[in-house]
Amino acid sequence: MSLSTLNTPSADEPARERDGRDTAAPALSELTTLRVGGPVDEYVEAESEAELIDAVRAADDADRPLLVIGGGSNLLVADEGFAGVVVRDVRQGLDADLEDSCGTDGACGGASLRLPAGQDWDSFVAQAVANEWVGVEALSGIPGTVGAAPVQNIGAYGQEVSGVVASVVTWDRATGSRRTFTLSELGFGYRTSLLKRTMRSGDPDDPGAPWYPTPRYVVLEVNLQMRLGSLSAPVGYGELARRLGVEVGQRAPSAEVREAVLELRGGKGMLLDGVGGAPLGDHDRWSAGSFFTNPVLPADAADELPEDAPRFAVRSATPESTVSPSLGVVDPTLVKTSAAWLIEHAGFTKGFGLAGEHSPARLSTRHTLALTNRGGATAADVVALARTVRDGVRDAFGIELEPEPVLVGTAL
């Protein structure tokens, strides 16, 4: 275990502990992709599952706030920092069990994969495409870890990780034991899951208690079940289908899907700084991705939107099904609209900042849905911008945008 703790200051390390904070620990601005956030009390890097469990258990036993962190790509942490323990799982790797024979019914086997929570998500996607494991190619370029992927059910370009999850092995902080959830138990929805919902207790008097900002269930390992083949899952997103020259619902070579997605994402600044050969210092990429989720409205409320507002069917992958959610079951009572469209039509243009073009926090110059750090932003700058955008959309359309990242020590 690589530890940077409060418990071990020595005479020759007088600066290690100051005001109850471990000065040797990285600040949250170094651990998150928005690059804001203050110091932490204690930072632990777990190199094995036992170390991860030990660190989580120690924090919970001592009643200390706990932030299990992956790539820090879905977090906005206050400038005051985190007065607790930050634990990062640094395990990488993958166990694969392949069954590639085809039965008389024409159905072929698949890949059963076991990945530690700390595994980098996009390196895994690259490996999956290279090995012809189908179902995550459209999720190329999403930063972060495998362990966090099912927490908010990552999704993009017509795919969601719920389409390939077989089960998730967790550490239950309430009972102090391992617990495995199968697909049907994980309660996946649009950018949510049972895991994410357990961050909050549901107690109106104390909505943050007792687990936030980490779920009750800490992901230890994720098991995926994927089809084998060189062609992708059916393409479920119009913009991607057009780029590939196929119809929505058709398949394309997975390697081409990955390449097209990375190009589309690059054009929108929705990749991490430096990824894909791009030069470092692209501040459009200093973000937490989409800052607001696309609002899902009752169908009659969506009727009130201007005629040209985007309207998408709300579909869900059924628990039994591993098809792309874009091809799942349509719920006729709900309509999803576009948060980016609402923001733009409420008057916020690309690059908008509270103090013009020199604002430290601004909307990305390539995508209105990303709030970005132009180099010297604080968390307070990002929060002020987010509030202004949220309030502007509410005033223009009566719709309350909800933040997608997990907010730590701050709120909109």
Ligand X SMILES: Cc1cc2nc3c(=O)[nH]c(=O)nc-3n(C[C@H](O)[C@H](O)[C@H](O)COP(=O)(O)OP(=O)(O)OC[C@H]3O[C@@H](n4cnc5c(N)ncnc54)[C@H](O)[C@@H]3O)c2cc1C
- Residues making contact with ligand X (CB under 6 A): 33, 67-75, 89, 117, 142-145, 147-149, 151-152, 154-156, 213-215, 218-219, 270-272, 285, 287-289, 406
Bridge pairing between strands 159-160 and 165-172: unpaired
Q: Per DSSP, what are the bridge partners of residue 101?
A: none
- Is the C-alpha dihedral spanning 17, 23, 25, 31 positive or negative? positive
Considering the complex, state which of residue 287 and residue 294 has its C-beta at the smaller distance from ligand X: 287
Considering the complex, state which of residue 213 and residue 328 has its C-beta at the smaller distance from ligand X: 213
Considering the complex, state which of residue 29 and residue 110 has its C-beta at the smaller distance from ligand X: 29
**Residue 163 to residue 318: CA distance in whole angstroms:** 9
Minimum Å gap between C-beta 33 and ligand X is 4
Minimum Å gap between C-beta 324 and ligand X is 14
Considering the complex, state which of residue 55 and residue 111 has its C-beta at the smaller distance from ligand X: 55
- Identify the active-site residue in 49, 132, 221, 404: 404
Active site residue 387: no
**Which residues of 325-364 form beta strands (DSSP E)?**
329-336, 361-363
Minimum Å gap between C-beta 301 and ligand X is 24
Minimum Å gap between C-beta 135 and ligand X is 15
Residue type, 284: D
Minimum Å gap between C-beta 58 and ligand X is 16
H/E segment holding residue 42: strand 40-46
Contact 245, 239 (CB under 8 A): no
Neighbours of 296 (CB within 10 A): 18
Minimum Å gap between C-beta 219 and ligand X is 3
Considering the complex, state which of residue 45 and residue 110 has its C-beta at the smaller distance from ligand X: 45
Contacts 24+ apart (CB under 8 A), 99-107: 100/228
- Identify the active-site residue in 73, 290, 324, 364: 290
Minimum Å gap between C-beta 40 and ligand X is 13
- Identify the active-site residue in 191, 243, 265, 285: 191
Contacts 24+ apart (CB under 8 A), 344-348: 344/368, 345/306, 345/309, 345/396, 345/397, 346/389, 346/392, 346/393, 346/395, 346/396, 346/397, 347/392, 347/396, 348/389, 348/392
**Residue nearest to ligand X as judged by C-beta position:** 70
Considering the complex, state which of residue 86 and residue 342 has its C-beta at the smaller distance from ligand X: 86
Active site residue 290: yes
Residue 351: name the closest of 326, 368, 375 by CA. 368
Contact 321, 231 (CB under 8 A): no
Neighbours of 366 (CB within 10 A): 17
Contact 252, 206 (CB under 8 A): no
Considering the complex, state which of residue 251 and residue 268 has its C-beta at the smaller distance from ligand X: 268
**Residue 264 to residue 244: CA distance in whole angstroms:** 11
List the catalytic residues: 191, 290, 404
